[in-house]
């Protein structure tokens, strides 16, 4: 038994328009052609789809059941037709993007929302990474584009890069922390308290560390959001991206601690993507990043 996509469209059109005649007009076919197509389909499936005892044919119980089971197939075919157009135009089925945890993700999500207006059928996978984890995501092809990356590309990894500005890191504590009560703070003072640390997420490359890791103990947390929470609770010390905590500084929930003989930390960040990948989706994101590079303060 073979039931064609056109057969299913015909049934759905009859149901939507209410009659064979109206369906014929909508599909630009004759009523007799519609009648013959339905008769042939009924022979194929082995049951009456329409009750013809009345002036206007109506769906039988079996016919209605058949149509309801066919609707998901029709929907899938419509999706497939759109997907074929995406593939033909070079969009691909999905794009994987990694981003460093120091980013303010609100502008990133705004960018994705804009992308969905252009290519709603392209799936997007996001990977949160820390430090060398961004480079590692490209090396392992967990992602083809990474945003907010720091440092240099590992040898042998062919990528294109664009600058996205820089991030200011400030050394802060809760106002109740003992370091906040000192007039002058040295690295030796800092050594007495555990730093709050987010581990590098790299799986293949050497893992980096940042900040001042002088203490014999540390508190490991999974994300930048958790690091901020831990420092708000006075559990430890460490550098934080200023753009993510400015409101806490303004409201006095965190205080900046000037460290003796330590210069302010400003870290350049970039976007990077695999040089051997070419898709309309990747091109769209890269062009957007080139136009709007304020992905840390937005």
Q: Does domain 5-88 have CATH number 3.20.20.240?
A: no
Name the more confident of 146 and 18: 146
Residue pair 197/101 in contact by the 8 Å Cβ criterion: no
Q: What whole-number distance in Å separates Cα of residue 11 and Cα of residue 62?
A: 13
The answer on pLDDT for 260 being more than 90 is no
Residue pair 139/273 in contact by the 8 Å Cβ criterion: no
pLDDT band at 298 (very low <50, low <70, confident <90, very high): very low
| String of DSSP letters for 237-259 | BEEEEHHHHHHHHHTTSSEE-PB
How much is the pLDDT for 293? 64
Q: Domain residue spans in the chain?
A: 5-88, 94-164+270-291, 166-267
Pairs from 115-118 (Cβ < 8 Å, separation ≥ 24): 115/281, 115/284, 115/285, 115/288, 118/284
Buried b (16+ CB within 10 A) or exposed e, 206-229: eeeebbbeebeebbebeebeebbe
How much is the pLDDT for 294? 62
* CATH architecture of the domain covering 94-164+270-291: 3-Layer(aba) Sandwich (3.40)
Average pLDDT of the residues of the chain: 88
How much is the pLDDT for 212? 56
Closest by alpha carbon to 9, among 92, 69, 55, 70?
A: 70
Return the CATH number of 166-267, one of 3.40.30.10, 3.40.190.290, 3.90.1150.110, 3.30.300.30. Answer: 3.40.190.290
């Amino acid at each position: 038994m073979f039931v064609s996509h056109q057969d299913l469209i015909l049934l759905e059109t009859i149901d939507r328009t209410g009659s064979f005649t109206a369906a014929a007009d909508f599909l630009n076919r004759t009523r007799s052609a519609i009648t013959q197509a339905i008769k042939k389909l009924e022979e194929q499936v082995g049951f009456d789809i329409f009750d013809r005892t009345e002036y206007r044919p109506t769906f039988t119980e079996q016919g209605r059941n058949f149509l309801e089971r066919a609707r998901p197939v029709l929907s899938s075919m419509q999706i497939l037709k759109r997907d074929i157009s995406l593939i033909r135009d070079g969009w691909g089925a999905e794009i994987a993007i990694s981003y460093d945890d120091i980013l303010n993700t609100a502008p990133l999500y705004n960018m994705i929302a804009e992308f969905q207006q252009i290519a709603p059928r392209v799936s997007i996978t996001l990977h949160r990474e820390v430090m060398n984890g961004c480079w590692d995501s490209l090396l392992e092809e967990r992602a083809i584009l990474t945003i907010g990356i720091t440092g240099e590309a590992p040898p042998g990894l062919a990528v294109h890069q664009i600058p996205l500005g820089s991030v200011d890191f400030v050394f802060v504590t809760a106002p109740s922390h003992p370091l906040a009560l000192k007039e002058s703070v040295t690295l030796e003072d800092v050594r007495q308290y555990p730093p709050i640390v987010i581990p590098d997420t790299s799986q293949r490359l050497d893992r980096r560390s940042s900040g001042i890791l002088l203490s014999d103990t540390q508190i490991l947390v999974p994300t930048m959001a958790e690091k901020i929470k831990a420092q708000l609770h006075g559990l430890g010390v460490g550098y934080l991206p200023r753009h993510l905590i400015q409101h806490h500084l303004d409201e006095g929930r965190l205080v900046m601690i000037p460290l003796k003989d330590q210069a302010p930390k400003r870290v350049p960040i970039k976007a990077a993507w695999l040089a051997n990948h070419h898709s309309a989706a990747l091109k769209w994101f890269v062009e957007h990043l080139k136009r709007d590079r304020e992905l840390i303060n937005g």
